[in-house]
Structure 1
Amino acid sequence: MTISKKVKVKIKGFLVVVSLFLVVSAIGQDAYISVKAEKGDGVYSLLRKQGVDPYETFDDFIALNSENLRDSIHLYEGRTYFLPTPDSISSIEKVKEEAPILVNSVSYPLFGEAYSDVVIKNTRLKGAVYYLISGHGGPDPGAMTKYGETYISEDEYAYDLTLRLARELMAQSATVYVIIQDKDDGIRDERILEMDRDEVAFPDKVIPLNQTARLRQRVDIVNELHKKHSGQFQRLIVTHVDSRSKGQNIDVFFYHHAKSKNGKKLAESIHETFKLKYKKYQPNRTYTGTFQDRTSLYLVKKTHPAMTFIEIGNIRNKKDQKRILEPDNRQALAKWISEGVIKDFESGEIGPIR
């Protein structure tokens, strides 16, 4: 599998544990403790409150509680969850060692120390190539607003979501190029993401201050890589955070090139995934996000791969800020987008450039 020259492929033994019943049965009744999720708890905050390192135990927590999680990563308020302990982790590791299923793991340092190892879960996206661009970066922070006493910026949250999406796609055996990169940040689990200006464009190009030059640079990078992977299934996903009036709450919405059949299908596949997720998890709320053509956008107009341009919310609106600032929500967004991407690939075609 080719991800990029910077990725080192290692073989490790893992068991993809998908059943809480099987795991708990293997562990036994005395090897774990339980805790009730309170209002506002996410997986990371719950583990931290119990004095458990979330970075070391996150995957084990998910394995222990997979049948009791909303959309694979969210807790239900008031429900009881099993907490990883040394005994339970040891038992899980024993199950893993005895399991006949071995899968690859890749190390991708750009994700940061806590997330650099990516377990390859399956080959559903094998052969597909994805270019991921997070909006703004370098000298341009994008949309900004004051949250409490701190300023937050579009580029940091779009970048964190993009890294999470890249990790999800790699786990499905896709080849992924992260076009805007910050070697220092990685995936972050804080609500307030500190602003900086040290992002570069793949592989290590300085991002221009001039907007047109900045966009042209990204177009040139993607189009050159597109030529390199000629004949393969290729898609581009651009992620932004919108800025509107504080009172305007918006859903996630998607743009595509007016003449791109494949771009429209990609946008529609992700859009349909979001509609289904909202219907399942927020049945009393109407999802108003749309997908539509917007060829006037520079990246939409000039890039060669079929693409979708995603706006994930209004950075100035309090309700949208919850979607953007909460790390569990950013992870859910990445997972939902990845599910739409898989749907597009499995029902798709390589097709012409557009």
Structure 2
Amino acid sequence: MKSLTALFYFFLLLSLAEFLLTWSNSEPSINSYIGDAGKSLIGVDIVNSEPYSASITEESTTPGTFFQTYSWDYEGCKWQLTLPLDNELYETYKSRTRNRDYDLFASDPYDDWLIKEIAEALLSLSKAHGLEERQIPEFCISFVQSLDYISDLESSGYDQYPRFPYETLYENGGDCEDTSILSVAILQEMGYDAVLLELPEHMALGIKCNTGYKGRSFEYEGSDYYYLETTGSDWQIGEVPEEYADQPVNVVPVYRRPTINLDFKAQCAYSKKEGVVDINITVRNVGSERAENATVYVALQAEDKLSLWDEIESSSITIEPDEVFNYTAKGLTVPAGKKFRVYVQASGENLVPENITSEWAMI
């Protein structure tokens, strides 16, 4: 009888142990909680703890590379994102010309790798932690809203100094156009239709939303884009700061396109018979897309602006974004005693023609 009782308790304990083991293994792990969103994130580590965090890493780091962590609050939770940044790359961005439209800073192709990683990290974090679809844009912008506000005058000494997204991230802040440029780049990478909204003394972004949103929106090409503030914190889609509520808004679409900046210097040799003009032209593609089959046309215009004393055109070339092409037009002639001016035009297969002229001169 005692042996039967002992055997009964042995099997009871064995069953209890098996139950406890099965119960503990049925608890969801962080991988099962994240699901496909976490598995598809390359180079990003998501930790299910306070704060929720993601880290973008590089396979190898070089001297001058460091990691910067950004922390912010959204919906009562703390979030973190860690990015690899590079001193030398930052200096390269600083050396690039500011003489380009705002949208070209946002669509610049050379930081695509980082914007893509940020978009994937934020999207995976939002899905992993159960944010609703309509919350995702606000969550992403809450990251940008957490950056420090730094005026252009304070940071650069200029009244207007727009920054590339990489610069804003490196400096951990910027003014309204800098954070709007960064926000549009991230949202577009995530698949949202976003534009820049230009006000007289301010900039924000507009995002195309499904029906059901309230607040202020602006129609552009048949679609409504809802205002989204990128400076300060806790701004929701459609909510406009009071000081900008009645101001006019210009919608600026953001897309890849080549854009040419032209400059030239001319030298003239004189004789009693004619003048011989040599012109050195600098063509810079400040756009975000390659300029295809671009040509440079140079002419010496007569005073009536219709007649030409001489002209020449370059062969067709391809100009990559931020690439410079130098072209020299040599030996153009104009009769002595005649007025003329230099006319230069760059055009191409996918280019809006750009032209510049000199002042009138006489040999």
Normalising TM by the smaller chain, what interval? under 0.3
The higher-RCO structure (CA 8 Å, 6+ apart) is 1
**TM-score, normalised by the number of residues in structure 2:** 0.21
**TM-score, normalised by the number of residues in structure 1:** 0.21
1 or 2, which has the higher helix percentage? 1
1 or 2, which has the higher strand percentage? 2
